[in-house]
Amino acid sequence: MINVTKTFLPPQEEYQNILQRAWDTGWMTNRGVLVKELEATLKAYLGVPNMIAMTNGTLPLQIAIKALCLTGEIITTPFSYVATTSSIVWEGCTPVFVDIHPEYLTIDETKIEAAITPKTSAILATHVFGNPCDVETIQAIADRNGLKVLYDAAHCFGVEYQGKSLFNYGDVSTCSFHATKLFHTGEGGALFCRPEYYDTMYSHHNFGHDGPEAFHGLGINAKMSEPQAAMGLAVFPYFDRIMESRKASVSLYREFFSGLPLQVLRLREGTQWNYSYFPIIFESEAQLLRVKAALEAQNISPRRYFYPSLTMLPYVNSKVCDLANSIAERILCLPLYLNLEAEEQDRLLAIIKSAI
């Protein structure tokens, strides 16, 4: 079976050696030495000033919405994982969808301002497949209208835009460290924010505690555990190798599809990408389904990211976003992971070519 992705697992002995440090102290949670070490390691590597490691990638979105006291409407994208929209609704706000750019697949910045109303409190956009939004234009719109800017950057570990980490843009950025991601902690995530928001975000992710016997205010439990941090510390030394392997696979894919009438992701200029996904956009849904069935018949499992469009969720009342809906019906992510063999890629590409 060739799956759309494969979790990278470091040598088990290396993971256990790191975890032994937590075992020796008996400290498994509540921000032990491994969590603190992971945060310090990642901040230095990424060049970010503020980071809070959390137990998954969804809670940072929910905490950001709560901590920034967002209310009313939040402008967002219909082309993302469900957590982007569900977090808005979960925190009592209303998602207002804006259609996407036809090539970058991120929110169409030229359509944002028209969606702003007196009830709008923020823009929550997704850097789709690690491809940056037009962060400069979005920030200018937010500044003109007194809005907060949040980025769902779940796919963006290691991505740089205009020479700095993509996590440094916006009031808050969030990332997923899920096992399917390039860098992972088994299950986990992180929140990155401007310095003035750090204390509030930190408090919210730890029950609102102000020491062991007092509270700043409302909070929940989003703390990363020591076993999760140990996995991150064991995976991290291999990250550059993971990137290089995926880069080679992406190069092979791009060369093949340059000769076919199918659309591939266009990266925004100024982006140093992380090769997180390889999506292709077919001319029709029927063509996609034909190719998908042909691959699955040969034990090759691609995936329809992101399908269906979030405008179809049963708990939102949204206008139709024609382009996002169309792209969602026609986009398919191909297998991409460390040590995907060129022979395996050749086989699946031959299947695609014959099925088109």
Span 67-98, pLDDT tens digits: 999 999 999 999 999 999 999 999 999 999 99
* 144-158, 207-221, 332-346: least confident range: 207-221
Determine the Cα–Cα distance for residues 108 and 113; give it in Å rounded to an integer.
Answer: 10
31 vs 55, 107, 213, CA distance in Å?
Answer: 11, 35, 17
Question: So what's the pLDDT on residue 71?
Answer: 98
Task: Tell me the sheet residues that pair with 301.
Answer: 3
Determine the Cα–Cα distance for residues 174 and 157; give it in Å rounded to an integer.
Answer: 10
206 vs 10, 31, 55, 283, CA distance in Å?
Answer: 29, 10, 11, 48
Give, for 61, the enclosing helix (H) or strand (E).
helix 59-67
Contact yes or no for 304/312 (Cβ under 8 A): no
Long-range contacts of 163-166 (CB under 8 A, 24+ apart): 163/270, 164/47, 165/46, 165/47, 165/48, 166/127, 166/130, 166/132
Band the pLDDT of 137: cuts 50, 70, 90. very high
| Domain spans in the chain, listed from the N-terminal domain onward | 7-237, 238-355
If you average pLDDT over residues 190-203, what whole number do you get?
A: 97
For the question of whether the overall pTM of this predicted structure is more than 0.75, the answer is yes
Tokens 């070519």: give the residue. 353
Higher pLDDT, 216 or 234: 234
Give, for 174, the enclosing helix (H) or strand (E).
strand 172-176
Same fold, 7-237 and 238-355: no
Band the pLDDT of 28: cuts 50, 70, 90. very high
DSSP secondary structure of 305-334: TT-S-GGG-TT------HHHHHHHHHEEEP
| Cα atoms in the Cβ-side hemisphere of radius 13 Å centred on 30 | 6
The class of domain 7-237 in CATH terms is: alpha beta
Q: What is the mean pLDDT of the chain?
A: 96
If you average pLDDT over residues 263-279, what whole number do you get?
A: 98
Beta strands 263-264 and 164-165: pairing type? unpaired
Cα 36 → chain centroid = 22
pLDDT at 218 over 90: no
Question: So what's the pLDDT on residue 106?
Answer: 98
pLDDT at 321 over 90: yes
Question: So what's the pLDDT on residue 268?
Answer: 98
Question: So what's the pLDDT on residue 210?
Answer: 80
For domain 238-355, the CATH architecture is: Alpha-Beta Complex (3.90)
